[in-house]
């Protein structure tokens, strides 16, 4: 190349440097957004073709499909294969379809998948110390310390408190006789009162004052602006490693801080009190005191510190409130649009409980009610996908596919629950699926409303007992029927990850 040609090239670069810089920037942006999109192809794994930046989430980003139905879409897309891959932005995530693989990851080979997938952000430490976010040995230590709080004997002691709250709920609802009501909001008052009484020994006023401060805070915990959601999604898709430097959350941090202040005051008062209650908070305080004594004697690390106690208290409150109110409100909606089912369930409840005190043993006799609640959760799981993180290299059974430590695997709960090979005629509501031989013959890891394996929901028995007592009280005292605002099927909120009806769950309520 002669000197004249070199000068011309140099002159062109100097004259057009802005255009060239723009083209280089475009290329780098494209490369950054797509460089690992051959991840599954290299491993020989089927995958949903990604779109630059959003990965396999185009239908979700453009609000063509709800979060719940997207899990069903992914499940059906890979049905017939043991697994398949999608990209959450740039991050590859392996979806498990085969029942044996689901069992391996959640139960049999749990040591390889101890951790849940969680965002690493610079959030308050008490949020990092919840059971949802704790990892490895720390999770095991805290879980084992808390588990006795949900033993049969502890739950039996809570039944009178739950019954008292349910009786208050009946009085609360009587003011709405012959009215159209939105049940998700109203039963939320009951779940808050139950959790306040059973977990913390506090009165939330949820069933006496619709505008109680505690109620408002609990309702607001998931409220964030659309602008903030978009900002968070951009971080997750493009800059996940930077999130640990920022206090970012999909929760309303102001409401959370106020709720935790209330719980901290309750904890402080409990430690000063001479008489000891037998609720969740008391159990975890005593477990923490016992651990501290043992550490002072033998050494070691304290796991149940103050932030950890606050974190579990907050988790119990929010998780219990959201899941229980979803279960009860969708259950009531189902009864309203299926009057024959409502009559059958009411007759069953009256036959088993009429003239009897509600006890732990009596609740076990309500097999049709239990089937009804479990079937409600099958069709309407509050969380329609569960994730696990591979903590050490793992070969997927029956394949030569290797998962590296840090790889996220997902189980599409709603897809499994709507699989006709597992649940024949899955769109049909049939409580009998969870009764007798039909229930016994179905592998337990294929019902995932409470998760599966050692990392399942620690409070599932408490949730079921609370829901049973609430339904007994409600069906003995009220009839539910459709009203002008009742949707069937229910339209699901496109923005929410948790199951949320877009227009509420409206029914007409009549006293019996």
Closest CA to 140 of 455, 457, 426: 455
Q: Which residue has the tokens 């000891």?
A: 276
CATH for 496: 1.10.630.10
Q: 139: pLDDT confidence band, cut at 50, 70 and 90?
A: very high
- Spatial distance between the Cα atoms of 367 and 327, rounded to a whole number of angstroms: 17
What confidence score (pLDDT) does residue 125 get? 83
- Spatial distance between the Cα atoms of 429 and 372, rounded to a whole number of angstroms: 9
Average the pLDDT over each of 41-55, 276-290, 412-426 and give the range with the smallest value: 276-290
* Strands, sheet with 91-96, edge to edge from the N-terminal-most edge strand: 83-88, 91-96, 408-411, 386-389
Asked if residue 450 belongs to a domain, the reply is: yes
Could you tell me the two tokens for 210? 């619709």
Annotated binding site for heme: 457
What angle is formed at CA 495 by the lines to CA 320 and CA 390, rounded to 5 degrees? 65
Could you tell me the two tokens for 463? 């949730």
- Spatial distance between the Cα atoms of 42 and 440, rounded to a whole number of angstroms: 41
Q: 190, 166 in Cβ contact below 8 A?
A: yes
Asked if residue 21 belongs to a domain, the reply is: no
Q: 112, 391 in Cβ contact below 8 A?
A: yes
Could you tell me the two tokens for 455? 């990392």
Contacts of 409 by beta carbon, 8 Å cutoff, 6+ apart: 93, 94, 95, 96, 105, 113, 387, 388, 389, 390, 403
CA distances from 27 to 21, 23, 24, 414 (A): 10, 6, 5, 39
Asked if residue 1 belongs to a domain, the reply is: no
What confidence score (pLDDT) does residue 508 get? 97
Average the pLDDT over each of 97-106, 142-151, 262-271, 393-402 and give the range with the smallest value: 262-271
Residue 319 CB neighbour total at 10 angstroms: 20
What confidence score (pLDDT) does residue 370 get? 97
Asked if residue 4 belongs to a domain, the reply is: no
Q: 126, 314 in Cβ contact below 8 A?
A: yes
- Spatial distance between the Cα atoms of 44 and 46, rounded to a whole number of angstroms: 7
Asked if residue 27 belongs to a domain, the reply is: no
The most confident of 290-294, 306-310, 446-450, by mean pLDDT: 446-450
Residues of the domain holding 387:
36-511
What angle is formed at CA 343 by the lines to CA 340 and CA 345, rounded to 5 degrees? 110
Q: 241: pLDDT confidence band, cut at 50, 70 and 90?
A: low
The model's pLDDT over 217-229, given as tens digits with 9 standing for 90+, comes to 666 666 666 666 6
Annotated binding site: 457
Q: Measure the N-to-C terminal CA separation of the chain; round to a whole number of Å.
A: 97
Q: 327: pLDDT confidence band, cut at 50, 70 and 90?
A: very high
Domains in the chain: how many in total?
A: 1
Beta strand 386-389 with 506-511 is unpaired
Asked if residue 260 belongs to a domain, the reply is: yes
Mean predicted lDDT score pLDDT of the chain: 87
Write the secondary structure of 75-122 as one string of H (helix), E (strand) and C (coil). Answer: HHHHCCCCEEEEEECCEEEEEECCHHHHHHHHHHCHHHCCECCCCCCC
Asked if residue 331 belongs to a domain, the reply is: yes
Q: What is the pTM of this model?
A: 0.90
Whether omega for the bond prior to residue 489 falls within 30 degrees of 0, making it cis, is yes
What confidence score (pLDDT) does residue 204 get? 67
DSSP 495: S
**What angle, 0 to 180 degrees and rounded to 10, lies between the N-to-C axes of helices 136-146 and 280-298?**
120
- Spatial distance between the Cα atoms of 50 and 247, rounded to a whole number of angstroms: 29
Q: 174, 511 in Cβ contact below 8 A?
A: yes
Q: 48, 84 in Cβ contact below 8 A?
A: yes
- Spatial distance between the Cα atoms of 111 and 413, rounded to a whole number of angstroms: 21
Asked if residue 361 belongs to a domain, the reply is: yes
């Amino acid at each position: 190349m002669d000197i004249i040609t070199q000068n011309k090239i140099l002159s062109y670069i100097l004259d057009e440097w802005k255009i060239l810089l723009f083209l280089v920037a475009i290329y780098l942006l494209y490369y950054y957004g797509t460089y690992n999109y051959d991840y599954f192809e290299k491993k020989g794994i089927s995958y949903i073709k990604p779109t630059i930046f959003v990965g396999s989430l185009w239908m979700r980003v453009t609000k063509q499909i709800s979060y719940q139905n997207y899990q069903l879409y992914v499940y059906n897309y890979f049905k017939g294969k043991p697994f398949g891959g999608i990209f959450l932005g740039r991050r590859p995530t392996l979806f498990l379809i085969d029942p044996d693989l689901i069992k391996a990851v959640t139960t049999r080979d749990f040591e390889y998948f101890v951790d849940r997938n969680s965002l690493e952000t610079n959030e308050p430490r008490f949020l990092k110390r919840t059971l949802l976010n704790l990892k490895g040995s720390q999770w095991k230590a805290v879980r084992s310390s808390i588990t006795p709080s949900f033993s049969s004997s502890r739950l039996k002691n809570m039944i009178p408190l739950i019954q008292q709250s349910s009786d208050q709920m009946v009085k609360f609802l009587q003011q709405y006789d012959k009215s159209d009501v939105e049940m998700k909001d109203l039963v939320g008052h009951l779940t808050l009162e139950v959790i306040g009484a059973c977990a913390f020994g506090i009165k939330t006023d949820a069933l006496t004052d619709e505008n109680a401060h505690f109620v408002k805070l609990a309702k607001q915990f998931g409220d964030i602006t659309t602008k903030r959601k978009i900002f968070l999604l951009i971080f997750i898709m493009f800059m996940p490693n930077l999130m640990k430097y920022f206090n970012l959350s999909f929760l309303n941090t102001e409401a959370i801080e106020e709720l935790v202040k209330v719980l901290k005051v309750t904890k402080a008062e409990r430690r000063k009190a001479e008489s000891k209650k037998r609720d969740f908070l008391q159990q975890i305080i005593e477990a923490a005191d016992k651990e501290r004594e043992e550490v002072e004697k033998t050494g070691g690390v304290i796991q149940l510190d103050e932030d950890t106690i606050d974190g579990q208290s907050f988790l119990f409150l929010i998780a219990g409130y959201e899941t229980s109110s979803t279960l009860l409100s969708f259950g009531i909606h189902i009864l309203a649009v299926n009057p024959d089912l409502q009559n059958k369930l009411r007759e069953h409840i009256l036959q088993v409980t009429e003239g009897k005190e509600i006890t732990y043993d009596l609740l076990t006799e309500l097999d049709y009610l239990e089937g009804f609640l479990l079937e409600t959760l099958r069709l309407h799981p509050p969380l329609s996908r569960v994730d696990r993180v591979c903590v050490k290299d793992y070969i997927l059974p029956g394949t030569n596919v290797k998962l590296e430590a840090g790889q996220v695997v997902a189980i599409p709960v709603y897809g499994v629950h709507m699989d006709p090979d597992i649940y024949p005629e899955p769109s049909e509501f049939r409580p009998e699926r969870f009764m007798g031989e039909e229930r016994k013959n179905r592998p337990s890891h294929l019902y995932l409303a409470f998760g599966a394996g050692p990392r399942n929901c620690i409070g599932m028995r408490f949730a079921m007992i609370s829901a049973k007592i609430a339904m007994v009280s409600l069906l003995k005292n009220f009839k539910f029927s459709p009203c002008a605002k009742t949707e069937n099927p229910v339209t699901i909120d496109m923005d929410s990850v948790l199951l949320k009806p877009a227009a509420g769950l409206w029914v007409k309520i009549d006293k019996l």
